[in-house]
A and B are shown apart, each in its own frame.
Chain A
């Protein structure tokens, strides 16, 4: 089964439906594997008003007949390497839109799947494919007074962004208990107590450096010194540590040269277990989190949940 969402609206819910036809699902997944460059990472293409992309997610853990396809991907995205092939597949997906879906989704109350909506989607997608918007590829980092781009002291050819320490954003009754160290370090409030790899079906229960690193890299993190392009702005530098066998923990490099973190459901802070501002996550007091695993960059395309 596949979940299809047409990312096109701003206020009302996007049109979405479930493809239950096994042959249709498998055929589409096989085409994505064959048409190299047709699938893009969701959320990395056009981000303005109007049609943006078609997002597709596999809903079951059954392996597809053709291996190698991504679990989540976007079609008709300007981020696709082969935009033409991506568009052709997108039109095939649109043909699957039911006008009277057997599976009622919450969004259907506000965005029912009508013939008018179907016509609108086709019109918008075809217009998008024939005249795709120019996505601004930053040549320099956008200006933000609370965020600076710095050169990595360890890998001088790489750059990343550091933002002002802002614990007040996290330390509220609504946000604090629902967001953990991974949310904080990635700087994404999901309210789901995000777990490395969960957004991409790659979560691990083994609390060791290699396993948690692999899970996080499935979300899109890359090891330090694999420089991220400016299109991934804002890029974060994160550090991973492990309480062997029990738990993991993440830190984020902040503006001012220190590191911030958020231990579980507790308050975000910039101090270690000795009450000292964290200048170096490798040497700060980390309690039982004795294994230092390394550093990672996280760009804008890193999706966590």
Chain B
């Protein structure tokens, strides 16, 4: 537990709306994104990708490509000096396809040329002879189909059984739900620069979520010792899960090794859509039974996730989807079966919410059905079933930390509603600038939803983060490899250092592999894990500073404290009162630490176990206006209350909430990668639509602060909850306005105008 009080005389400590240290460079255009990198003598890399979802490769002829002026190298799988496979958690994905291709977009070869145009021509000149096969595209057929990969077609099958499977309450509701394939659609496409080093190693500057995991995969494939592969973080233009898997890293490093020249690769937007994983599309069936008053008696679920061609993080997405399939509700009797399968569709993996998003859409639709069947208000039925500290999850785990489900429900429901439909300004009607909706036909709906998930990795994963703190004459320098992807970790690292050390000048060293791993910027974990590491390193330096001062004054260091930026003694007779900057002139204090969270355990054959470190919840209430004839919608307001533990920087928390709601709105109403025969039909921002400034509703937010025991400063990660229950709240509002079933997201205009009623 953190026992440091905020030192108010020191500006920019925890709890304040401290400014981002990268805010100035970012508004001035001086912040170097990974696509801005340049090196003398560099070549441009480009990737040739499969046009087929399933095909045998008969032959690859690179001779014509090599003859193109300016082309320096063409590499295929045959050129890999060591491992030919990579993968985030399991090495099942070829760096370049060898005998078969398994999805449209799979890399087959890469070229290096002195101009991007020469590289493009070279890719076109590579002659790959394919023998197309019948692709496996329906995830429902995958488990029983002939394997399309030596590792088989099932990434994971997880069954959670608890209580009495035959228990039934008098009220039964069931439904089938579907979630389309969402893309993270960060703004800055993948980019990196690989530079061959004199020692035979490689320096790679890249936008990623996890430097050390990338390093390991690059080293394995290049046959280098990990320490010979040095990564540093290039400016990251958003991530949301899509940069957790390796994209261009190995290709760029292999080309750099081969040509002995720096290699720059920048993806186009189309290649970005092909080159990273997406959110798993899901088909979900659920059946709930309850007492007449709405209290849950039993829960059953079958969850099918399409993982696409390679495993990525599918194994753990299945776990999250299944573990959290009932939502944040008490239910003693449950049977939940989750399966993630391999198909010839594009690979899927991490995206903000990680499995919890898909099941939340289903369980919240079910809770509304149950409310209606019981004649209970949707908010009330959720309150009656809300999980709380001391209750058990489906997995049998007792909730030991904070989980204020009832409170987030009450707080969200208590936020003011918007004024009645504004008909004066046609721009605010559904359809907006199209001015097509007839004001008299506009119907309003209100919907409510609650979601939860875990923080950090689960099931016994030994997670850690390393940080170093250096203090000299009042200047603190913090080093940590945590990837700043836009979320604002850099701000928190400074705030934590200021709080512990009582200094305002905190420099952040670049994030690179010169220090130990900080783990991934995912699973809402960096505030806790790397925040914890930074706090621990700063605490160690603080102790060393106080020891130094105590030794000089011949007193017990336990009598010393840092308050308001000054070292003072709790014993007034000592009369010690020194500014931290003057407390040890010329002395350098430096400490490096590793931080770990408490140990978790695997799930057993019944899906039971203490698998999760901590849980977080949020509730969303959405208000929509709909033109049912045209299927046009406008989300008017989203009100939310979120369990944050403690808000270390309330302004940044609100930024996460508003941004997360935008992505939840996207999944509810517009965002889907549409596939035909395994090919993405809309890999561009003209066809894959994300919300604009005009689509965003008013957002009202309440931060529920119940400090989490064991978490640094009591703070929980805040990135994912806004994206989990915002989608089902919006769809519930659409159902309320239209009476349509709307069992699939994204909801399309035709689903409203022509779809079936409930």
Q: Do A and B bind?
A: no
Chain A residues with a Cβ under 8 A of chain B? none
- By a beta-carbon cutoff of 8 Å, the part of chain B in contact with chain A is none
